[in-house]
Amino acid sequence: MTTTPPIAIIMGSQSDWATMRHAAETLDRLGVGYDARIVSAHRTPDRLYDFAKGAKAAGYKVIVAGAGGAAHLPGMTAALTPLPVFGVPVESKALSGVDSLHSIVQMPGGIPVGTLAIGKPGAINAALIAAAVLALSDPDLADRLDAFRAAQTAAVAEVPVDEA
């Protein structure tokens, strides 16, 4: 029997995976389970509807949604599910992701999407904030998040060096 992992990472296109894999890798580091799926608001609207309407019943707890350009995926997902949705603006070729950011962040009051930074930092932070939500009811995960922060702090040198 397969069980649904707590986090769904969804993205609008295969081309978003180069960014969204950083969310997946961050969850791997934290030992948090996830499914990664391509769900396009524009090219596969029925898949979006089915996924978002069924996400809670399927057992997901948090959704991380990345999209670029006319990035309607996070907002439409949030409109269709009561689960928390964190949006990652993927860096677009034409407008460097500012279009994605504005598309995701400017939600109307009442339908929230927690919007992260453009690109890789946003993908990493979406995973971290999703994990932090889960950690509220998972003390072991809370300990792993503390350890992640401590390791990150310990890895910062006090003196800069010349890089090759």
The C-alpha atoms of residue 66 and residue 100 are separated, in whole angstroms, by 9
Among 9, 62, 80, 90, binds ligand RP5 (CB under 6 A): 90
89 binds ligand RP5 (CB under 6 A): no
Question: Which is nearer to ligand RP5, 117 or 132 (by Cβ)?
Answer: 117
CB of 58 to ligand RP5, least distance (A): 22
99 binds ligand RP5 (CB under 6 A): no
29 annotated among ligand-binding-site residues: no
40 binds ligand RP5 (CB under 6 A): yes
Contacts to ligand RP5 from residues 4-23, by CB under 6 A: 12-13, 15-16
Which is nearest to 101 in space by CA: 110, 111, 113, 109? 113
The C-alpha atoms of residue 84 and residue 107 are separated, in whole angstroms, by 14
Strand partners, 68: 90
Q: Are 34 and 9 in contact (CB under 8 A)?
A: yes
Question: Which is nearer to ligand RP5, 15 or 106 (by Cβ)?
Answer: 15
- Residue in the structure block whose two tokens are 């791997």: 28
Among 67, 88, 113, 124, binds ligand RP5 (CB under 6 A): 67
DSSP state letters, 112-163? --EE--SSHHHHHHHHHHHHHHHHTT-HHHHHHHHHHHHHHHHT--SS----
Among 7, 60, 64, 68, binds ligand RP5 (CB under 6 A): 68
Which residues make up the interface to ligand RP5 (CB under 6 A)?
12-13, 15-16, 40, 42, 67-69, 90
The annotation places the binding site for substrate at 13, 16, 43
